[in-house]
Chain A
């Protein structure tokens, strides 16, 4: 034990540094200089991302509390990159009248939740994991409630925090039972003591709620649409990709590493949950009018797909999952970027409002379309590849029926994604959203997302590099 241990945590440390700098800037910066908050935050985060881009070696610190893995590094990089994109898209919203005064907080709080996710990812002990997950979720509630004069925002936040705490209560209860039966909370020690006794199985079921909630798997998903709809769009974007992505990875890591002895059980659980999640979310999504709510259901169903990478318990699945998260992040952020800017410029958030968008805003429509096709898994866009790898991972373990059901669901999902494409490209509108030019940040972020969507699949190096660090059970 020594301070040298901290060196293993360079990512967390650099993130903390960013947070502290921004916090100080927010507190002490003059009103005038605060205009540059967005560029400063973006640059700092970019620097942070770049510095930590290369995966470092595997390391264990603090007596096993902290466990750094290369794949974890990659996930962290992906998440911070996603956060960067969110920051770039959030500028517009933060400039609005009632919020501008609090704009600094947004960056700081968001980065705090990111820090929480880092902890989750690198946790080697359930306490670490617990702190991480709470750090990731409690500040999120404040983000959801950011538009505090808007009742929907507050309501969404209330639903979020109450459900979150309830879920984490159940989860902790499960955890306490696990502790009671195994006598340890170290990830390395628990598996040896897991013998599949009834109490442990029950404990596992309860524990599962916490991550299921974060991932918004059915039946722990019901907060998702409400929160997504009520939250500010940038926050929704953040919730739907970063928060979800981290939870997915952590869940996978836990299941692979800690709950490996219970593999039969959790595969069965996931089997049912995946089917339920994908199907139910799709059924709900068909009918949605509010585009944010629509994307909430879409993201629930995507979570179901993500779980396909977990269920196989193989390295292929881990690579697929991380890759999926990356692609999903880019696609979803592209979509939310468009939604955000459209909402900001015209105040319109229903699908019908997007009628005839192509005629007035062709570029935004194309970006949106790319995002939707990618989400639906249409080649040559990246989404196709990520879906394929996920399916391949599940199929490798013989889950053909599950893959088949998931694939049938892609038809439904294609239907509702095409609804938006149809609105933008085919439908005519009497009062279309007027044409506008977006700000530079949004444009850059959308460009980055589009390029990612177009190139990630075709350039196989990303997938292969992730694959190099993946591991199975």
Chain B
């Protein structure tokens, strides 16, 4: 069976919106972080798919997704460090407890 580009795109779109949905609804900071990964991964997928199907003569998309993966790892690392910091301070990592700063 031939796999059309649209299939990938559908999946990546679902991932993207699942990520967004997760980001907005999850209560735990780590879960939010995971949702972000979903978003970023869906983007990586897009890049790869577009490159592979539409512009196979160049490698821009592939490289972009490589870098994006690397950077998202950095992001996650920093985010986790901060979350740990929060945990040390308030002893939980519920998103709703990040409410000292408002107005």
Contacts and interface: CB of A to CB of B under 8 A. Distances in A.
A and B touch in the complex (CB under 8 A): yes
Contacts of B16: 173
Interface string A211-253: 0000000000000011101100000000000000000000000
A179 B50 contact: yes
Interface of A: 126-127, 130-131, 134, 138-139, 141-142, 145, 148-149, 151-152, 154-159, 161-162, 165-166, 169-170, 172-173, 175-177, 179-180, 183-185, 225-227, 229-230, 287-288, 293
Contacts of A173: 16, 39, 42-43, 46
Given A130-B67, A141-B82, A156 B61 contact: no
B85 A148 contact: yes
A152 B55 CA distance: 47
28 contacts: A131-B71, A138-B71, A138-B74, A139-B78, A141-B79, A142-B81, A151-B100, A155-B86, A158-B29, A158-B82, A161-B78, A162-B23, A162-B36, A165-B75, A169-B36, A169-B40, A172-B43, A173-B42, A176-B47, A177-B46, A180-B50, A183-B54, A184-B55, A184-B58, A185-B60, A225-B103, A229-B101, A293-B103
Secondary structure type dominating chain A contacts: helix
B85 A154 contact: yes
A127 B54 contact: no
B20 to A, nearest CB: 8
A138 B100 contact: no
A177 to B, nearest CB: 7
Nearest to B68: A172
Contact of B39 (A126, A155, A166): A166
Contact of B60 (A127, A149, A288): A127
A180 B79 contact: no
Given A130-B67, A226-B101, A162 B43 contact: no
Interface in B39-66: 39-40, 42-43, 46-47, 50-51, 54-55, 58, 60-61, 63-64
Contact of A179 (B36, B40, B64): B64
A134 B90 contact: no
Nearest to A134: B71
Interface in B3-51: 16, 19, 23, 29, 32-33, 36, 39-40, 42-43, 46-47, 50-51
The 10 closest A-B pairs by CB, nearest first: A176-B46, A169-B39, A226-B101, A180-B50, A172-B43, A151-B89, A154-B85, A183-B55, A134-B71, A157-B82
